[in-house]
């Protein structure tokens, strides 16, 4: 399964992918498109990626989680145009027990946000469009150093 | 198509998101002469029109892996300049 998808994400598919009779603890994380950002109403957004690197880094993060905890991980991130409430990212983690499932799920979403080359362009209710960087929108004319 | 034996080597750069908009291209070629590492690539890009917003600490990937400023760069490498990430 590719980690990036142009089509709507289905958490149930990921849950099925990690399910096994011995894995009794399953956790999941779903990130949805919010209707506001920095106090401004958001109409929708578009995700884009450096796709070959994003696929490779997602695979690395999953391998790290699966070697650090006894779990199976499934992950998908959406690309393209999304509207409010649509699923941007979905993660399912199954382990024998809950502790490793929660820990690995948290690890995967945090590392994804930190390392996977994906970008978000928000369209606000007033029609303006901005790239979101480090959790805030950055206008086109702003300059200076940028550290992720 | 006949080859051009004397074509000077170039470094091919991929640009994404805000940086692609600022520089008006998703891909560009820089003369390889004088470019030895990631730091040199960023310096050249910053000198281009629209390139001033590309900070010295900008993430650069060489062959799909994040690379440090002193990581070597050659014409056979896939070089990508990455604006601050915003996935998830």
pLDDT at res. A147: 36
Q: pLDDT tens-digit profile of B32-44?
A: 999 999 999 999 9
User: Beta-carbon neighbour count of residue A98 at 10 Å?
Assistant: 12
pLDDT at res. B1: 60
ipTM of the complex: 0.90
The number of CA neighbours under 13 Å toward the Cβ of A7 is: 5
Q: pLDDT tens-digit profile of B51-65?
A: 999 988 899 999 999
Closest residue of chain A to B51, computed from CA coordinates: A143
pLDDT at res. A140: 43
User: Beta-carbon neighbour count of residue A5 at 10 Å?
Assistant: 16
Taking CA atoms, B32 is separated from A32, A81, B11, B51, in Å, by 43, 37, 5, 18
Residue B2 pLDDT level (bands cut at 50, 70, 90): low
- Segments in chain A below pLDDT 50: 140-148
| Cα distance between residue A69 and residue A67, in whole Å | 6
Q: Is A139 on the interface with B (CB under 8 A)?
A: no
Q: Is the pLDDT of residue B4 over 70?
A: no
Distance of CA B39 to the CA centre of its chain: 10
CA distance to partner chain A, nearest, from residue B28 (Å): 15
B18 and A131 in contact by Cβ < 8 A? yes
Q: pLDDT tens-digit profile of A42-53?
A: 999 999 999 999
């Amino acid at each position: 399964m590719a980690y990036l998808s142009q089509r709507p994400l289905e958490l149930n598919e990921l849950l099925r992918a990690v399910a096994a009779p011995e894995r009794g603890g399953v956790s999941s994380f779903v990130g949805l498109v919010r209707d506001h950002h920095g106090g401004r109403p958001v109409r929708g957004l578009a995700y884009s990626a450096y796709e070959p690197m994003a696929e490779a880094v997602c695979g690395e993060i999953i391998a790290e989680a699966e070697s650090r905890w006894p779990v199976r991980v499934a992950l998908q991130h959406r690309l393209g145009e999304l509207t409010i409430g649509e699923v941007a990212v979905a993660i399912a983690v199954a382990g024998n027990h809950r502790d490793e499932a929660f820990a690995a799920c948290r690890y995967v979403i945090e590392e994804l946000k930190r390392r996977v080359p994906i970008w978000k362009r928000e369209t606000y209710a007033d029609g303006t469009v901005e790239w979101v960087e480090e959790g805030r929108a950055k206008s086109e004319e702003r300059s200076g150093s940028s550290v992720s | 198509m006949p080859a051009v034996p004397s074509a000077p080597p170039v470094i091919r750069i991929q640009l994404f998101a805000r940086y692609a908009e600022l520089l008006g291209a998703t891909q560009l070629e820089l003369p390889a002469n004088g470019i030895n590492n990631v730091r040199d690539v960023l310096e050249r890009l910053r000198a281009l029109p629209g390139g001033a917003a590309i900070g010295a600490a900008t993430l650069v990937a060489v062959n799909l892996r994040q690379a440090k400023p002193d990581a070597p760069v050659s014409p056979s490498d896939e070089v990508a300049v990455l604006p601050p990430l915003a996935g998830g």
